[in-house]
Structures are given as C-alpha cells and as structure tokens.
C-alpha cells in the first residue's frame, strides 16, 4: 500500500476512536439532602429544593427505612 493511503487510514481511525471516547457523561453522585426536613412525598418539590438551595443537578424522593427521604444529585 502507498504510504499516503496508510496515513489517511490511520488519521480516520484516530478521529473515530477519539469521538467514541468523548461520548461519556459526567458521573453523578447522590446524597441525602441537608436542607430537607420530614418525609419526602413530592419529588418535584425535592428536585426544586436541591437545585435552588443546595446547587445540585437534580433531586428525587427515595425510600429509606420505613419512610422516604429527599436525595440530591451532584456532578462528581
């Protein structure tokens, strides 16, 4: 094969491989809300409080023990 063809093939391969590696999304870490009190019954309210009060990416109610708690999610 011609050296130019090999070089062109190698460049194309590297471009495709680099695109595949960039496809990952940022990791998300969750923890119980530090500003929520009482049981969490409305995920929408939990989400708003996590975003507005704790600078989180999102929030949601999840079962914990016999009740439910508000958990906030942040970029790790």
Domain coordinates in residue numbering, the chain: 26-76
Q: Domain spanning 26-76: which CATH class is it, in words?
A: alpha beta
Higher pLDDT, 22 or 61: 61
**pTM for the predicted model, two decimal places:** 0.66
DSSP structural state of residue 44: H
Portion of the chain with pLDDT greater than 70, in percent: 68
Q: In 3D, which of 69, 68, 48 has the Cα closest to residue 59?
A: 48
Distance CA 34, CA 71 (A): 9
What is the spatial distance between Cα 57 and Cα 63, in angstroms, rounded to a whole number? 20
Q: Which of 65, 32, 29, 64 is nearest to 49 (CA)?
A: 32
How large is the average pLDDT for residues 61-74? 96
Q: How far apart are CA 44 and CA 58, in angstroms?
A: 10
């Amino acid at each position: 094969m011609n050296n130019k063809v090999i070089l062109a093939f190698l460049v194309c391969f590297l471009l495709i491989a680099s695109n595949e590696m960039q496809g990952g999304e940022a990791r998300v870490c969750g923890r119980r809300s530090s500003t929520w009190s009482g049981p969490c019954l409305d995920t929408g309210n939990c989400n708003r409080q996590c975003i507005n009060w704790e600078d989180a990416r999102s929030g949601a109610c999840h079962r914990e023990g016999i009740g439910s708690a508000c958990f906030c999610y942040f970029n790790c």
